[in-house]
Chain A
Amino acid sequence: MKQSFRMQISLFKDSNPVKIVFWVLMLFVAWHYVGNVMLFRNRDVTNMYHPMLITLLSDEIAGNEELQYLLQMLPFLVVIPAAFSFIDDRNSGETVYVRTRLSASQYMWGKAAAVFFITFVTFEIPLLTELFLNCIAFPLSATGSPTGVSLYEDDRMQEISSYLWHTLFIKAPYFYTVVMTLKFSLFCAVMALFSFAVSTMGFRIKVFLFLPVYVILYVLAYLKYFVNISYQTNYFFYLKIFNNQTMNNWTAFWLFLFVLTFISAVLIFRYSKKDCLG
């Protein structure tokens, strides 16, 4: 598995889709960051917001357009960097040469690990870059919130208590934001892994591989309107940071990721038992 992982990683490093998605995300980060710099220049530190509350994933800023666009594009963006790799191998015929050197299971598990890792890193690096840039550009001593409500007011404390792992936020807001970006990238990596696993079912036309993640996420998002569910099912609300999360069901969110990972593992296992006929 290590050998397959090593080969796949070196392939992804030179891959154009990985570079394209990475730079698209960097563009989102730059767009948001420059917007922040223009908005907050010359602002006194006493009126300034906490640097972590104004990041790209933060829902604290009213009308965070960049975040809305990013989340809308997300079902497509997660698939592009690595999820097509199995279709590429099979369509080109490379699978056969790899499988004469490695067992099918080593090949597939190594590939799955590489797909997960590359997607995770492709999303995580731009997000961490933004946190770093915010720390440089904005005063670290600022504590304000874009909501305008003081940290010491009850309303604000009530809102914070709705955040996932809110005690961590209170104790270490910087570390908390890093953890939330990791959660975001983990979500993207699981989606990519799922798309990759689905591609072993016989997808030959690449564009169709955009469908599984898109359909799942949007069916879930609109499920609320057809079935009586009391909590949010739209992925937007689970990926934003610092939004009002009282309607979120985090157990369902983690269970959803676990189920997708499990289905992916079953599909990969199923393929690795198959004969290689072409």
Chain B
Amino acid sequence: MVLTVQNISKTIKKRAILCDVSGEFESGKVYGFIGRNGSGKTMLFRAISGLIKPDRGEIILDGKRLHHDMDVLPSLGMIIENADMYPGLTGKKNLVYLAKIKGIATENDICNAITRVGLDPDDKRTYRKCSLGMKQRLKIAQAIMEKPDIIILDEPTNGLDEDGVKLLHNIVSEEKKRGALILLSSHNKEDIEQLADEVFYMKDGIMKRNDENNLMHDKGKENK
């Protein structure tokens, strides 16, 4: 499976959010995205997932164009900012409702996903009462419960403790082994360095394949 991002651009309120971004991503690999806040990582992920429609360019999955041949990517799991769950329901119930949309994940798959992120499927606490880390783990569970072909993880370590981060690393490795294409962004360069097969650097909506110079430049700025 090949996901191609072809010259996409997006302007919101006269501000260029994505500028002629291109890239090719294959299944069974982890692609890391680094860049400062507002550099366009999340917008790129929104465009790839179909949440926003680029002004120019195409997202192509195995020859099929997003927004033309398909409305959404057929098999996608995702964590992204501003996405959350119903506060009055338990974690499992939230996942059950989401799973009903596609009807792929069974109750067993849901329980399995919750267990994989280190939570108890029978926990009766509502989502509102969960800690930040538990909420993040549930979001990871919703992203993997349907065993998707493409997984987008935007800042997945937010709110996770050390154990949670380790758990996430294991999950990313397992999903990669399963053959999933994983797009991962993180402020934490260690996460990216350890997990990603290829790294892209984003700045002002422009995406570049990362090389040592970029990393050094970035590190130098942070040290200052």
Residue ranges of A at the interface with B (Cβ–Cβ < 8 Å): 3-4, 6-7, 10-11, 88, 92-94, 96-106, 275-278
Contacts and interface: CB of A to CB of B under 8 A. Distances in A.
Nearest to B127: A92
Interface string B41-52: 000001001111
A45 to B, nearest CB: 52
B51 A103 contact: no
Interface in B54-101: 71-73, 76-78, 80, 82-87, 97-98, 100-101
Nearest to A278: B82
A101 B98 contact: yes
Contacts of A4: 101
B103 interface: yes
Contacts, number: 78
A125 B52 CA distance: 41
Contacts of B78: 96-97, 100
B100 to A, nearest CB: 5
Contact of B101 (A93, A96, A101): A101
A98 B84 CA distance: 10
B100 A7 contact: yes
Contacts of A96: 51, 78, 80, 82-83
Contact of A93 (B71, B85, B97): B85
25 contacts: A3-B100, A3-B103, A4-B101, A6-B101, A7-B98, A93-B82, A93-B84, A94-B84, A94-B85, A96-B83, A99-B50, A100-B51, A100-B73, A100-B78, A101-B72, A101-B98, A102-B71, A102-B72, A103-B50, A103-B72, A275-B12, A275-B46, A275-B53, A276-B46, A276-B52
B72 A10 contact: no
Given A97-B83, A100-B78, A102-B101, A277 B46 contact: yes
Contacts of B49: 100
A92 B84 contact: yes
B100 A97 contact: no
B114 to A, nearest CB: 15
B132 to A, nearest CB: 14
Contacts of B87: 92
Interface in B85-128: 85-87, 97-98, 100-103
Contacts of B86: 88, 92, 94
Contacts of A88: 86
B142 interface: yes
Nearest to A15: B88
Which of A88, A99, A100 has the most CB atoms of chain B within a 10 A radius of its CB? A100
A100 B73 CA distance: 8
Contacts of A10: 97, 100
Contacts of B12: 275, 277
A106 to B, nearest CB: 7
A102 B76 CA distance: 10
B85 A92 contact: yes
Contacts of A100: 49-51, 72-73, 76-78
A105 B50 CA distance: 12
A112 B131 CA distance: 33
A106 B50 CA distance: 13
A64 B82 CA distance: 50
Contacts of B142: 97
A276 B51 contact: yes
A93 B83 contact: yes
A94 B94 CA distance: 9
A138 to B, nearest CB: 43
Contact of A277 (B52, B77, B97, B100): B52
A7 B97 contact: yes
A132 to B, nearest CB: 32
In the A-B complex, the 3 residue pairs with the closest CB atoms: A93-B84, A103-B71, A96-B83
A33 to B, nearest CB: 33
A93 B142 CA distance: 14
Contacts of B80: 96
Nearest to A106: B71
Nearest to B10: A275
